[in-house]
Amino acid sequence: MLDKRNIIQQEEPAILVGVVHKDQTEPQVQEYLDELAFLAETAGAVAVKRFVQKLQHPDSRTFVGKGKLEEIRNYLDGKNIRVIIFDDELSGSQITNIEKALDVKAIDRSDLILDIFARRAKTAQAKAQVELAQYQYILPRLRGMWKHLERLGGGIGTRGPGETEIETDRRIVRTKISLLRKKLAEIDKQAFTQRKDRGEFIRVALVGYTNVGKSTIMNLLSKRHVFAENKLFATLDTTTSKVVFENTPFLLSDTVGFIRKLPHHLVESFKSTLDEVREADILLHVVDISHPNYEEQIAVVNKTLHELEASEKPTLTIFNKMDLYEKKTFDEWLEEGTKKEILEDLYDRWNNEFHGNAVFVAAIEKRNMDCLRKTILKKVREMYRVRYPYRTEFLY
Ligand SMILES: Nc1nc2c(ncn2[C@@H]2O[C@H](COP(=O)(O)OP(=O)(O)OP(=O)(O)O)[C@@H](O)[C@H]2O)c(=O)[nH]1
Ligand SMILES: [Mg+2]
């Protein structure tokens, strides 16, 4: 197995690089870099410095311009930093050129996400899915990745006569990809049978950006103990529980979180884990309303749902972390009446946007959970009525 876990050591100092494209503002890119720093932290690194450059188009050779590269090199001089992380995807030749110029490992956001996924994968399915995505990501970048592969040894060096090393690697990687696909197809078949056994129950799936509180809500609604923590991608495998609200049973699933620029191959290879989303009857879209970029996060989730052909499903939007939102929004001296008005405006705005399908909670303090339960129950019952008009056993 390609063990890319070695990319980042614990507490490894790293520098971050972002480019401000023509439709972006500097504060926006700083927010992206905040997220990149959080990703780096989740992978075990510590972001010690940021470089930002305004560019119409990234430089095809070195991503950032010559001057910026020089500035970075000067900064690195004499420091014990071995990793540079770019917020955008790098091509194989960009990786090679940057590594040559700076003598550090160059990785990008996709690399980092794949690295985190690889660490977090627990089941055979998740492991195979991540590995597949890693190989697909590497295939077009083999030239730049050569150094990474070289360190790994195993499997490489079985060169045929007259072939170059890279051609051999490509062949090895392609074989790996097709083996992994076969393995996953086999696992899929079993999972499909298992899902079919779940019968007639309405299926509800929690979806949303990473770290918004999906697992925390899952735990509250299902009394299960799903792993939740303040790290990105705490959840990789789907957990499904049978839940009963007032005698009405349904299935509730917690799923992997989405993120801006989720590597396309990862979405592709996680499709079967995301089948739970695609086959759900109702989606609960969880939003972290305390996040400065929460609206963009909603858009990213909707786009990913669209890719999964799941954007048309009945959806309830759960605005979570209201406790944090209030802490950030309300000054101490603000009058209670004014606070109430601000909140009413917020509720109205989103209820208008989502046609009444918005609930505001603080899962951490179990705030408004009864309302959430009631709203979900109402939706589930409606769905049973549509699906089984002549049966009442699910409703009372
Ligand atoms: N302040 C506050 N924190 C919350 C709330 N709900 C969840 N959290 C915290 O947010 C962090 C992420 O929660 P998770 O439930 O793991 O989020 P998730 O959406 O499942 O995240 P991934 O599985 O990583 O995508 C944890 O540290 C939670 O304790 C809330 O209502 N208020
Ligand atoms: Mg989770």
Q: Is 321 near ligand 1, meaning CB less than 6 Å away? A: yes
Confidence (pLDDT) at 164:
67
pLDDT of 126 over the 90 cut: no
Put residue 161 in one of left, alpha, beta given phi > 0 → left and psi -120 to 50 → alpha: beta
Q: Are strands 105-108 and 315-320 parallel, antiparallel or unpaired?
A: unpaired
Q: Encode pLDDT of 156-188 as tens digits.
A: 333 333 456 777 888 888 999 999 999 989 988
Distance 247 CA to ligand 1 centre (A): 28
Residue 45 near residue 22 (C-beta atoms within 8 A)? no
What pLDDT does 327 receive?
Answer: 95
- Residue 211 buriedness (CB in 10 A; 0-12 / 13-18 / 19+): buried
DSSP state string for 353-391: HTTT-EEE-BGGGTBTHHHHHHHHHHHHHHHHHHH-TT-
Interior CA angle at 286 toward 281 and 292, to 5°?
150
Residue 344: is it exposed, middle or buried by C-beta count within 10 angstroms (0-12/13-18/19+)? exposed
Please state, in angstroms and as integers, the Cα–Cα distance from residue 393 to each residue in 197, 222, 249, 376, following that order.
19, 21, 10, 18
State both tokens at 266: 């990862």
Residue 337 Ramachandran class (φ > 0 left, ψ -120 to 50 alpha, else beta): alpha
Q: What is the mean pLDDT of residues 291-301?
A: 95
CA distances from residue 193 to 43, 188, 199, 343 in whole angstroms, order as listed: 35, 9, 11, 46
Q: What does the pLDDT read at residue 5? A: 41
Distance 214 CA to ligand 2 centre (A): 5
Q: Which atom of ligand 1 is nearest to the CA of 320?
A: 31
pLDDT of residue 239: 83
274 near 256, Cβ under 8 Å? yes
Total Cβ atoms within 10 A of residue 334? 11
Half-sphere exposure of 140 (CA within 13 A, CB side): 8
User: Which pLDDT score, from 0 to 100, does residue 149 have?
Assistant: 47
Distance 151 CA to ligand 2 centre (A): 33
Top mean-pLDDT range of 181-185, 254-258, 321-325: 321-325
Q: Does the beta carbon of 235 lie inside 6 Å of ligand 1?
A: yes
The number of angstroms, rounded, from the C-alpha of 293 to the middle of its chain's C-alpha atoms is 15
Q: Is the CB of 58 under 6 A from ligand 1?
A: no
- Kindly state if the Cβ of 144 falls inside 6 Å of ligand 1: no
- Per-residue b/e over 18-37, b at no fewer than 16 CB within 10 Å? bbbeeeeeeeebebbbebbb
Q: Residues near 48 by Cβ (< 8 Å), separated by ≥ 6?
A: 13, 14, 15, 81
Convert the pLDDT of each residue in 188-229 to its tens digit: 888 777 766 667 899 999 999 999 999 999 999 997 777 777
Looking at the predicted structure, is the pLDDT value of residue 147 above 60? Answer: no
Q: 38, 210, 216: which to mutate for ligand 1, most atoms within 8 A of CB?
A: 216
Distance CA 217, CA 212 (A): 10
Q: Distance (Å, rounded) from C-alpha 140 to C-alpha 109?
A: 16
Residue 25 pLDDT exceeds 70: yes
Alpha helices in the chain (DSSP H): 26-42, 66-76, 92-102, 109-120, 124-138, 142-152, 165-196, 214-222, 264-269, 275-278, 294-307, 322-329, 336-353, 369-387
CA distance 209 to 113: 14
Q: Tell me which residue has its CA closest to atom 10 in ligand 1.
A: 213
pLDDT value at 238 more than 80: no
pTM of the prediction? Answer: 0.85
Contact 276, 256 (CB under 8 A): no
- Mean pLDDT computed over 263-272: 76
Indicate whether residue 228 lines ligand 1 (CB < 6 A): yes
Total residues belonging to the chain: 396
pLDDT tens-digit readout, 62-116: 999 999 999 999 999 999 999 999 999 999 889 989 999 999 999 999 988 888 8
User: Residue 262: nearest ligand to its CA?
Assistant: 1
CA distance 360 to 30: 28
The string of pLDDT tens digits covering residues 333-360 is 899 999 999 999 999 999 999 999 999 9
Q: Is 247 in the pocket of ligand 1 (CB under 6 A)?
A: no
Enter the tokens of residue 300: 């990213």
Tell me the average pLDDT across 12-33: 92
pLDDT value of position 155: 39
